[in-house]
Structure 1
Amino acid sequence: MATISDPPPTSSPTATPVGGHSPSHRLEGRLGAGSIVFMVVAAAAPLTVIAGSVPIGIAAGNGAGYPAMYVVAAVVLAFFAVGFTAMTRHVPNAGAFYSYVGTGLGRGAGLGSALIALISYITVQGAVYGYIGFLIDDLVTGYGGPTVPWWVWTLLVLVVTGVLGYRHIELSSKVLGVLLIAEVAIVLVLDAAVIGQGGGPEGLSTAFLTPSDVLSGAPGIGLMFAIAGFIGFEATAIFRDEARDPERTIPRATYAALLIIGVFYTLSAWAIVSAWGDSRIVEESAADPGGIVVTTAADFVGTAAADIMLVLFVTSLFAAILSFHNVLARYFFSLGNTGVLHVACGRSHPRHASPHVASLVTSVVGAVLMVVCAIAGLDPVLEIFTWLAGIASVGIVLLMALACLAVLVFFRRTGVDRRPWQTVIAPALGVVGLSLILVLLVKNLALLMGGSTPLGVGVGVLLAVALAAGWLLARARPQAAQNLTRATPADEAPLI
């Protein structure tokens, strides 16, 4: 059977640090599926989605039928996950999306995907940085504390994130595990209270099971908000080098994260609808999209639960930031090892076995972006969060669609796996589903960018240019392009 062969390795001089030891270019860890699930589910920020995105999806989307959109999104992403995990054993490095796309569609497409991935994760991290600064200030002033600019809190969070990202990945995993359990627990308490009391005045909702309700209003916009809630689950493969058994751990973590997120969102959105009733939920969500979930907690569980939820809203955003920081740092690290970025980005810490240089680069990029936004006087929620999250949503869905297409092409060309469901049917359905969602996102880019058509067009142009630049970069740096899908053994210098 045909296989893809890598170019023969060539040597490259390696800098020798103090002590005479060669710098390591490989990450190490013993992460199991559970630890990776904690990190990628934390990136999805479950409480933030329930308290922030669900009310908007209900009000602007398909009303009481909105919970069904999470089921649809989970099914489409499950098709993606089938092909993604089937190809995992044939992609020998931790480059995630760009490694898959490069292996299946060629080096130019792979490098273009790498640029889109960097843009997407830089912007989604920046979006959450802006939001958390605003939210901490709101929380502090709400309890009688001093009012300070949002960016002061943001920079403080950035420093804490940078310290954790610099250390061994298992420290971040433990922090994320605690924060994730807390935020999921408070929402499940609310869900149990609503269901246990039989819902609100109209009882438990059945709208999400009724086709006419699911297709009412603007289901396309509802699906758009639903798919955005899953951003982060796809990053399991970036932790390949730190996984205990990559060929088993990565697929298990991917499926587990998707299942947990899908069930949690569907259940919790249904509980919120049931608490207010099918006839009132759209009006109430539109009137107070930022506070309706906290109000629901106060009504069904008590004011103490509402106060706890406000605090956990902040920790949910911090967990998302830390997770995105870890993912982005590993993108910088992997691209440093290929020679696309500076060789220093591909070095790992001799004691923490972490991508410490790449982590510092990630922190600096985040700080610069936030300083620019602060100097420009942008609103941390209406502009920074909305605009940057819009860029990231389109970019990551585009990457998933390209990854599905890469799976189809790779297995068709190589024949290394001939199982029809894993290599043809599911990836093909994933391409169709993700392409339709991408069309919805592009059509509503202006909405994603706060209603600005010029900004919407600018995002589309930015991502298209980034993808096209991959082919130019592949021609300009052919050796780096060859290294795109090549595994880097421990302590081996990147090939540049």
Structure 2
Amino acid sequence: MSNVGLKEAPSGRLDKNSIGVTHIVFFVVAAAAPMSALVGATPPAFAFGNIGVPAAFVTLGIVYLLFAIGFTAMTPFVKSAGGFYSYVTKGLGGPWGMAAAMLAFLAYFTIQIGIYAIFGVFVNATVGPLGYSLPWWVWSLALLVVVFLCGRQHVVFSGRLLGLCMIGEITLLTLFAIGVLIRGGGPDGLTSAGLRPTDFLAPGIGVVIVFVVGAFIGFEATAIFGEEAKDPARTIPRATYLAVGIITVFYAFCSWAIVQYYGAEKIMSIAGANLDTFYMTALQDILGNWAGYAMNILLLTSYFAALLSFHNTLNRYFFAFGRDGLVWKGLAKVHEKHKSPYVAGAVQVIIVTSVIAIFALIKADPYTTVFSGMVTVCGLSILLVQVLVAVAIFGLFSNGRQGKSIFRVRVAPLLSGIALAGAFLLVSVNVDLMTGSTNPLVYGLPALVILLAAGAVAMGLRIRTRNPALYKTLSAAFDDAEQAAQ
């Protein structure tokens, strides 16, 4: 471990006051990958869970809104680009901040590996009939190069590009949902089926939570760009509430529309028998054959948008780690022209390439092994780190509310923390459904995630004892970026 102290911390700094609410919202919603999340996650949620998927989106939306109320109360006190890492460090101290860093990094890294794998599978299936069939990892690595080049640009470039992708996905799915309304629904007409609490609070609720929680991955992006945001004390809360609202309403509306299209009595059986064509059939029937072609294209852009968002997020994690002296300080270098953490991006490309190469060499199935396994680890990691953030809110305001309401710094984080912990338990007992495997090792994934977090805490305690200078850097992670970089 480096002996770098606060004064020796690397001097890289990101471009302040460069992005506003709109760009940050694009990053969050793009990370949620509207097209791929609905088309990929909701069919198995209906098939193996229950018809309450729309109600699940609403419920989780409320939970994350409560989380955001407390989360954004910390924004004026946290200006580093470390995201959850910085927030937990501020509220609970360096060792717990290291646990949050480990969990968040694990979540975003594993989800992008999974998406690279499923992208390769989907492209191969699309162009294979045309005679361009290649191993899945070839397409994955080709996309990795594109993502790296885009992420190397100024953050505004990525924000605009993600916005275009997101608009296309949302437009097509919204047109479908409106078309269902105009048609008057399906065999049952228009009903409240799917939105009723009893639909969600029924057998299969754990399965539904497992698949629905992934739609909110990327939530942290509102905070991780705080150092580059214009007036972050106001921009971050607005972007957070807006992002949660858009994700919740959009997913709930579109999943409710698909329930209306197929009918409450038939949707579970139809989803189980037609996981791959569940949405394709409905979109082509409502909007015409052109919608099927558009969906194929937008699925590709959806995966790309999600990967670009996660790439940018991880770059800023590497940047924060380097600047705080936790790893090689060269990671804190920023591009002279674009003010982007380009060295962090290059290192990330090397790591991702290595992991994909390992999966390719052992001939792992890109869908059932790589994608499913990585998504499971991601879900467990992000839920656990969000529980830590909820606890950190209490830690930050333990000596006084500093002008914040008791609801904002006590009630909201308590309720959301309990709900997120419950979601973690539900995912833990349903890991076999996420991975499609009953291998005993699969059931150990929740314990592995917890052990990694505990190991990070132990490392932080060791640093505090043996390297006070570096621990001081950890404690400064939440300070203003310029101060932390001195």
Partner deviation per Cα, 1:415-450 (whole Å, 9 max, x = no partner) = 424411111110110111111111111111232232
Of 398, 401, 423 in structure 1, the residue corresponding to residue 387 of structure 2 is 401
Q: Which residue of 2 aligns with 1:20?
A: none
Matched, 1:338 2:324: yes
Partner deviation per Cα, 1:65-100 (whole Å, 9 max, x = no partner) = 221000011011111111000111112312111111
Letter of the aligned partner of 1:484 in structure 2?
A: L
Matched, 1:137 2:124: yes
Matched, 1:40 2:28: yes
Q: Which residue of 2 aligns with 1:305?
A: 291
Letter of the aligned partner of 1:126 in structure 2?
A: I
The answer (yes or no) to whether the contact 1:27–1:348 under 8 Å persists in 2 is no
The gaps in structure 1 that reach 5 residues or longer are 1-8, 15-22
Q: Which residue of 2 aligns with 1:66?
A: 53
3-state DSSP of counterpart to 1:452: coil
The answer (yes or no) to whether the contact 2:54–2:194 under 8 Å persists in 1 is yes
CA–CA distance in structure 2, aligned partners of residues 333 and 105 of structure 1: 21
Matched, 1:127 2:123: no
Matched, 1:113 2:109: no
Q: Which residue of 2 aligns with 1:3?
A: none
3-state DSSP of counterpart to 1:28: coil
The gaps in structure 2 that reach 5 residues or longer are none
CA–CA distance in structure 1, aligned partners of residues 293 and 126 of structure 2: 10
Q: Which residue of 1 aligns with 2:278?
A: 292
The answer (yes or no) to whether the contact 2:6–2:472 under 8 Å persists in 1 is no
Letter of the aligned partner of 1:304 in structure 2?
A: W
Partner deviation per Cα, 1:228-259 (whole Å, 9 max, x = no partner) = 11111232111011111111111111111000
Partner deviation per Cα, 1:171-195 (whole Å, 9 max, x = no partner) = 1111111111111111111111111
> How far has the Cα of 1:217 moved from its partner?
3.0
Matched, 1:164 2:160: no
> How far has the Cα of 1:380 moved from its partner?
1.3
Which has the higher mean CA deviation after the structures are superposed, 453-462 or 121-130?
453-462
Of 469, 478, 482 in structure 2, the residue corresponding to residue 479 of structure 1 is 469
The answer (yes or no) to whether the contact 1:26–1:488 under 8 Å persists in 2 is no
The answer (yes or no) to whether the contact 2:32–2:306 under 8 Å persists in 1 is yes
Q: Which residue of 1 aligns with 2:255?
A: 269
Normalised TM-score (structure 1): 0.92
3-state DSSP of counterpart to 1:76: helix
CA–CA distance in structure 2, aligned partners of residues 78 and 229 of structure 1: 14
Distance 1:426 1:489, change over 3 A: closer
Matched, 1:11 2:7: yes
Count the aligned residue pairs. 477
Partner deviation per Cα, 1:94-121 (whole Å, 9 max, x = no partner) = 2111111111112111111111111111
CA–CA distance in structure 2, aligned partners of residues 389 and 338 of structure 1: 29
Q: Which residue of 2 aligns with 1:280?
A: 266
> How far has the Cα of 1:50 moved from its partner?
1.1
Normalised TM-score (structure 2): 0.94
> How far has the Cα of 1:367 moved from its partner?
1.1
The answer (yes or no) to whether the contact 1:165–1:326 under 8 Å persists in 2 is yes
Which has the higher mean CA deviation after the structures are superposed, 386-395 or 114-123?
114-123
> How far has the Cα of 1:286 moved from its partner?
0.4
3-state DSSP of counterpart to 2:61: helix
Distance 1:54 1:492, change over 3 A: same
The answer (yes or no) to whether the contact 1:38–1:176 under 8 Å persists in 2 is yes
> How far has the Cα of 1:404 moved from its partner?
0.5
CA–CA distance in structure 2, aligned partners of residues 106 and 10 of structure 1: 16
Distance 1:189 1:218, change over 3 A: same
Letter of the aligned partner of 1:127 in structure 2?
A: G
Q: Percent identity?
A: 36
Aligned-pair RMSD on alpha carbons?
A: 1.8
CA–CA distance in structure 2, aligned partners of residues 303 and 192 of structure 1: 17
Distance 1:84 1:489, change over 3 A: closer
Partner deviation per Cα, 1:306-326 (whole Å, 9 max, x = no partner) = 111111111101100000000
Distance 1:423 1:212, change over 3 A: closer
Which has the higher mean CA deviation after the structures are superposed, 53-62 or 260-269?
53-62
Matched, 1:92 2:79: yes
Distance 1:372 1:27, change over 3 A: farther
Q: Which residue of 2 aligns with 1:26?
A: 14
> How far has the Cα of 1:44 moved from its partner?
0.4
Letter of the aligned partner of 1:283 in structure 2?
A: S
> How far has the Cα of 1:223 moved from its partner?
2.0
The answer (yes or no) to whether the contact 2:55–2:196 under 8 Å persists in 1 is no
Distance 1:482 1:27, change over 3 A: farther
The answer (yes or no) to whether the contact 1:343–1:494 under 8 Å persists in 2 is no
The answer (yes or no) to whether the contact 1:162–1:363 under 8 Å persists in 2 is yes
